[in-house]
Amino acid sequence: MKHFHKYNALRVIALLLSLLFLCACGNGGAPQGSEAAEPESVTKTIFAMDTVMDLTPYGPNAAEAAEAAAARITDLERLFSVTIETSDISNVNTHSGERVEVSPDTAALLQTALEFCGKTGGALDISVYPVLKAWGFTTGEYQVPSADTIQSLLAHVDYQDVQFDAASSTVQTAEGMEIDLGSVAKGYTGDQVMEVFRENGVTSGMVSLGGNVQTLGTKPDGSNWRIAIQNPEGGEGFVGVIEVADQAVITSGGYERYFEQDGETYWHIIDPATGAPARSGVISATIAGASGAMCDALSTACFIMGPEKTAEFWKANDGFDYLLVLEDGSLVMSQGFADRFEAMEPWANNPITVVTK
């Protein structure tokens, strides 16, 4: 059995993204030989939410903004982490069947998560956590659970049994249910970091939260940010680059956390309908949009839904664009994604389907 070390993989992703960022923005937009001073910037690297995070604000208050953003991330982790015993989510899970009051941030995140659970018809389901544990993805003690184990756990998986009351910021889950907001937490955190940047007078910045990248405004020179899409098959290079301004670009892929057993590969993205790793033909799903929380939720959901259902969902909903990398190496993307995406070798030679509304 071969195990994959998530920390190292995410560190590689963060470093690759940082390298691309530096290549794109190294001179702060000032022409070579120009007298124009490069805007002050700070890159602060922290480890939180089980991933490496790079925070890069520009401007005279960059240092203060980076410190404030790091503190905000730490506070949110203490609220959202399912492995911190004093967190809001651990408290909800410990008191399943009871009504529990949560913080404003947890309430906002729960409301967003449940909204996308409903919109995606349960492709995203925050109550799948016990199944994830049974596969060992939360502990690193990987195993293939028995069919009986999966079926018994699926009896407690249904986001519709999570009763959330926004007016009182309280939540009640069904008896025996456990929830996890990991599928949306980093996206929400990216949104909050952008707010911290703005509060500190920052108008240009970028954060890399593992596989999540979020940008504030444009680059200091006024041009778009160029964000690389990780190669889901491993190795060097990228699938391609998308240009964005004031948007999040979030990818979910089987390469993030997986193990192999008896010649089969099992990844951590679990289909709530089967209790097993999702097998939709997708190996990587990237979402671009203004809301980090939305992009985070949909990157997981679209990975599970597959190309046909994702296309239908995109046609029925506004506010995001997508890229799917399929098992056969082909690329499927929405028109809005294609308009600002450049595929790289060897992916540029693979079949590319552009979905229009």
CATH 3.10.520.10, domain 2-25+35-78+183-355, yes or no: yes
pLDDT of residue 117: 98
From the list 273, 1, 284, 256, the residue with the least C-alpha distance to 144 is: 1
Domain ranges for the chain, please list them.
Answer: 2-25+35-78+183-355, 81-179
Q: What is the pLDDT of residues 25-70, one digit of tens each?
A: 333 333 333 344 567 889 999 999 999 999 999 999 999 999 999 9
Residue 255: pLDDT over 90: no
pLDDT of residue 265: 92
**Residue 165 near residue 171, CB atoms below 8 Å:** yes
Contacts of residue 226, defined as CB under 8 A and 6 or more positions apart, other chains included, come to 20, 24, 241, 242, 243
Query: What is the DSSP code string of 10-21?
Result: HHHHHHHHHHHH
Average pLDDT rounded to a whole number, residues 350-354 = 97
Residue 2: pLDDT over 90: no
**Residue 185 near residue 153, CB atoms below 8 Å:** no
Sorting pLDDT into bands at 50, 70 and 90, what band is 211? confident
CATH class in words for 81-179: mainly alpha
Q: What is the pLDDT of residues 287-340, one digit of tens each?
A: 999 999 999 999 999 999 999 999 999 999 999 999 999 999 999 999 999 999
pLDDT of residue 140: 87
Average pLDDT rounded to a whole number, residues 249-273 = 92
**Residue 242 near residue 287, CB atoms below 8 Å:** no
pLDDT of residue 38: 60
Q: What is the pLDDT of residues 65-102, one digit of tens each?
A: 999 999 999 999 999 999 999 999 999 999 999 999 99
pTM of the predicted model over 0.85: yes
Q: What is the pLDDT of residues 114-150, one digit of tens each?
A: 999 999 999 999 999 999 999 999 888 999 999 999 9
Q: What is the pLDDT of residues 141-187, one digit of tens each?
A: 999 999 999 999 999 999 999 999 999 999 999 999 999 999 999 99
Determine which of 14-23, 131-140, 209-218, 236-245 has the lowest per-residue pLDDT on average.
Answer: 14-23
Q: State the CB neighbour count (10 A cutoff) for residue 120.
A: 22
pLDDT of residue 192: 98
Q: What is the pLDDT of residues 230-242, one digit of tens each?
A: 999 887 789 999 9
Instruction: Give the distance from CA 336 to its chain's centroid.
Output: 20
Distance CA 98, CA 109 (A): 19
Distance CA 205, CA 58 (A): 6
pLDDT of residue 11: 37
Q: How many CA atoms lie within 13 A of 25 on its CB side?
A: 29
